[in-house]
Amino acid sequence: MKRKLALIQMSCTHDVSTNLQRLTQKIREAAYQKANIICLQELHNTLYFCQEEKVDYFDLAEPIPGPTTNHFSALAKELGVVIVSSIFEKRAPGLYHNTAVVLDTDGSVAGIYRKMHIPDDPGFYEKFYFTPGDLGFHTIQTSYDRLGVLVCWDQWYPEAARLMALEGAEVLIYPTAIGWDPADPQDEKNRQREAWITVQRGHAVANGCYVVAVNRTGYEAWEGVKGIQFWGSSFVAGPQGEILAMAQEEETTLLVEIDLKRSEYVRRIWPFFRDRRIDAFEDLTKRYRD
């Protein structure tokens, strides 16, 4: 059972309408090239605003359904594709989430996922903006496949990937916004990027499934901040961790064909699910074993 994925790696501007216009064109181009599932990067409507804590940036949020989901819903229906988008969700006054929205081929909202792990690091002040997700780790069934959609910081947690796989995720998808502090030395930059790639390849291996990471690219700085150089490097890994395709730092759309039958084959020769000692894992729910 083969699928064609499209990963749209793009640099963003301050202007929402420009970003949406460019994304729309890139989605159309991917659909023309027979992509079935089109994946967008994290918070693709704007520059990455979490570089500072500023109340005015809450004005960038919108409800679901709202202008962005309505736009991509109509596009998904027109083109007959699945679109994985990423929204700054305004759920209620004072309650906001970092939310992935999956639009199905008929234009319906197949499901949403609210980012569960929220970072708070220099340049990534997400706890100021986002309430941790309350929907848990649940897959989203589309007209094509069952997707396990997670968001950025979630990609460092093997538990999140495993729970999605245990609920039948055939592909794990991570809309992402990750980059370097320009002041970091080159060796540190290399270590960070390689760690990011390695941990997600590990999710593919441990769960015998495909992993998709679609990252931002380009240098972004709001007024008064030093900015982030997003490293791109969007990639797809196969169920043995093999890199099927990887972008560099420039804008690009990766088109990758996957064969879901391969996941079944890999799980037969590496039966990690069979051999899990679920009778001995209860301490995983503890913060720390004292």
For the chain, the structural domain boundaries read 2-285
Helix (H) / strand (E) element for 268: namely helix 260-269
Share of the chain above pLDDT 90, in %: 94
Average pLDDT of span 162-184:
96
Write the pLDDT tens digit of every residue in 214-267. Answer: 999 999 987 777 899 999 999 999 999 999 999 999 999 999 999 999 999 999
pTM above 0.75, yes or no: yes
Query: Residues 12, 39, 50, 152: which is the catalytic one?
Result: 152
| 62 part of the active site | no
CA angle, residues 245, 114, 77, in degrees to nearest 5: 65
Tokens 């079935």 belong to 36
12, 39, 42, 50: the active-site residue: 42
Separation of alpha carbons 7 and 26, rounded Å = 10
Among candidate residues 39, 50, 115, 170, the one labeled active-site is: 115
246 in Cβ contact with 39 (< 8 Å)? no
- Is residue 285 within a helix (H) or strand (E), and if so which, with residue range? none
**Sign of the Cα pseudo-torsion (16, 123, 178, 135, in order):** negative
Active-site residue 152, yes or no?
A: yes
**Average pLDDT, rounded, for the chain:** 96
Architecture of domain 2-285: 4-Layer Sandwich (3.60)
Give residue-wise pLDDT tens across range 106-130.
999 999 999 999 999 989 999 999 9
The residues near 112 (Cβ < 8 Å, ≥ 6 apart) are 64, 99, 100, 101, 102, 135, 140
Express each pLDDT in 260-286 by its tens digit.
999 999 999 999 999 999 999 999 999
**Rounded-to-5 percentages of helix, strand, coil across the chain:** 35, 30, 35
Structure tokens at 48: 């990455």
